[in-house]
Structure 1
Amino acid sequence: MPTPHKPPTRVSPVFLGITAVMAVTAWAVWTDFSASPGLAVFLFVTSAWIVSLCLHEYAHARTALHSGDLSIGAKGYLTLNPLAYTHAMLSLVLPVLFVILGGIGLPGGAVFIERGRIHGRWKHSLISAAGPLTNVLFAVVCTAPFWLDALDGVPVLFQYALGFLALLQVSAAILNFLPVPGLDGYGVVEPWLSHRVRRQVEPLAPFGLFLVFALLFIPEVHGVFFDAVHAILRGLGVDELASGCGFDYYRFWQGENEYCASFTGR
């Protein structure tokens, strides 16, 4: 029987299953094994995106545990089980839906942390920052073949998939760090605000995520946002061809893009 001082940390079979799908579909994309390369890219990127969402939430939970919230373990957050999240819809379903609809790495809802158990503003800020920092790390790993100039031998289709996956991670990190109520960026700055300001902003928290999504539908905002995303990706060695063709292959139901396909040799 787990105790608050020894939380359950065994990795969930659900997470292991998702990771297995990611590994198998990564192999299918790399070897061009699938008769439908777009479907293979879709399954690989989606499963990898869900894995990153699990790691994002795990980072919040693990940091909270070490900061003083010993109740975290009993909630199942340390098992990486996406079904254990307080807001499964916000943490998993909506982020995946936004990727499918618009190729946007929109952040999900955070795990439930008993903030009253944690003392120190820096600890509260670090707990909030831990999630998006995981997306930053994931983006660095995804783009490693690009910025290490180690693309020789990496199939072009796999480069496309990595480019699009990196775009999702970079966009998620940027959006998460926005100081908007309800997002991690606001959680970073909130401990440093006065009690009066926090009370005034608190009612806006449930709507912050949807406000950001609505703003991204404004063409000017959308353009500025993705200009920033692509500028970061270029700094990591990923050009717009890789991420753009990755998105085209991801949306396999729209048919294969002949321009992108011409680089894969298919």
Structure 2
Amino acid sequence: MTYHDAHAHAERKISVIFWVLLAVLAASGWSLWADQGNARVGVFLFVVAGWLISLCLHEYAHARTALQGGDISVGTKGYLTLNPLKYTHPVYSFIMPLVFIILGGIALPGGAVFIERGRIQGKWKHSLISAAGPAVNLLFGLVLLIGLSTVSLPSAIGHLNFFSAIGYLAMLQIMAGILNLVPMPGLDGYGIIEPWLSYANRRAFGNLAPYGMMIVFLLLWNPTVNDWFFNTVIHSVLAPFGYSWELAGTGSGLFHFFNLHLGSIFGS
């Protein structure tokens, strides 16, 4: 193996932190399936681990698409290792989104990887880089929902805690994908359309970027907007997939065992 090959391998080696997250997901999932230990703690660990894993994959998708588009710097920055500590803004990308789901059950990933846009030519490439992240969340959620759609009622009842955790995690993924496609500066939805805007508009909207995620979060804190989004938009997506909506509601109740979900999305 040449020095170049060894260096490239190191840039893509999966981090220990990501493996630990996978281990927590597997262990908590097994405990829920086997009905071992405290169910609420098990659901909390399963959903948090799954959520953090999805955030790593979300940012990896941005970086990988940027690499294909021409930004070879993403490897040296460690973005291809799935290590959350390597990202540009761990507070915006991991801590705040985690706090959002704990406090309000609102899944809203933020931007993290720093893409050297000057290395990338073509508006479509810039748009695809921004779209790659939410696409991962939607795909993740869809895979979980398809799995839940095959679960029979006896199985759902027999392993209620396990399937409820999956249902809630699936809902968070769908929610994250939809919300992050909102064309608000600071979110990927705006990143998709930004290359097509005039320079004057990009400069004007750019001032909102540091506050975009918080603006969306505060809008969803409004009871009317919250009720419409969850009971109309999210429900319409989950309802066709078997008992996914009901399981997500049960999972939400188990996850928020500390009663901090002000303005609960399921009215509990």
User: So what's the TM-score if we normalise by structure 2?
Assistant: 0.89
1:160–1:242 Cα contact (<8 Å) kept = yes
Q: What is the identity, as a one-letter code, of the residue corresponding to 2:250?
A: C
2:223 equivalent to 1:219: yes
Q: What is the identity, as a one-letter code, of the residue corresponding to 1:17?
A: V
Q: 1:16 is matched with which residue: 19, 23, 33?
A: 19
CA offset at residue 200 of structure 1? 1.2
Q: 1:119 is matched with which residue: 108, 118, 121?
A: 121
2:90–2:112 Cα contact (<8 Å) kept = no
CA offset at residue 239 of structure 1? 4.3
CA offset at residue 235 of structure 1? 2.8
2:233 equivalent to 1:228: yes
Query: Which residue does the alignment assign to 1:95?
Result: 97
> CA offsets per residue over residues 220-254 of structure 1, 9 Å max, x none?
11111112011111133344321111011112335
C-alpha distance in structure 1 between counterparts of 2:107 and 2:40, whole Å: 19
Q: 1:248 is matched with which residue: 253, 257, 263?
A: 253
Number of residue pairs matched? 252
C-alpha distance in structure 1 between counterparts of 2:194 and 2:66, whole Å: 16
Q: Structure 2 vs 1, CA of residues 223 and 191 (structure 1 numbering), >3 Å: closer, same or farther? A: same
Query: Which residue does the alignment assign to 1:258?
Result: none
C-alpha distance in structure 2 between counterparts of 1:175 and 1:2, whole Å: 40
2:175 equivalent to 1:171: yes
Within 5 A, what are the aligned runs for 1:47-196? Answer: 47-149=49-151, 153=155, 155-196=159-200
Which consecutive residues of structure 1, in runs of 5 or more, have no partner in the other structure?
255-266
Q: 2:28 is matched with which residue: 8, 25, 50?
A: 25
Query: Which residue does the alignment assign to 1:203?
Result: 207
Percent sequence identity is 50
> CA offsets per residue over residues 40-98 of structure 1, 9 Å max, x none?
01001100100000000000000000100000001000000001110000111111111
Partner SS for 1:236: coil
C-alpha distance in structure 1 between counterparts of 2:48 and 2:233, whole Å: 23
Query: Which residue does the alignment assign to 1:263?
Result: none
User: So what's the TM-score if we normalise by structure 1?
Assistant: 0.90
C-alpha distance in structure 2 between counterparts of 1:136 and 1:240, whole Å: 16
C-alpha distance in structure 1 between counterparts of 2:4 and 2:17, whole Å: 20
C-alpha distance in structure 2 between counterparts of 1:253 and 1:108, whole Å: 25
CA offset at residue 142 of structure 1? 1.3
Which consecutive residues of structure 2, in runs of 5 or more, have no partner in the other structure?
260-268
Moved more, 123-132 or 219-228: 219-228
1:2–1:74 Cα contact (<8 Å) kept = no
Partner SS for 1:11: coil
C-alpha distance in structure 2 between counterparts of 1:91 and 1:184, whole Å: 12
> CA offsets per residue over residues 191-242 of structure 1, 9 Å max, x none?
1111121111111111111111111111111111112011111133344321
Task: State the 4+ residue runs in structure 1 displaced beyond 4 angstroms.
Answer: 149-152
C-alpha distance in structure 2 between counterparts of 1:253 and 1:196, whole Å: 47
Query: Which residue does the alignment assign to 1:38?
Result: 40
1:143–1:238 Cα contact (<8 Å) kept = no
C-alpha distance in structure 2 between counterparts of 1:241 and 1:232, whole Å: 13
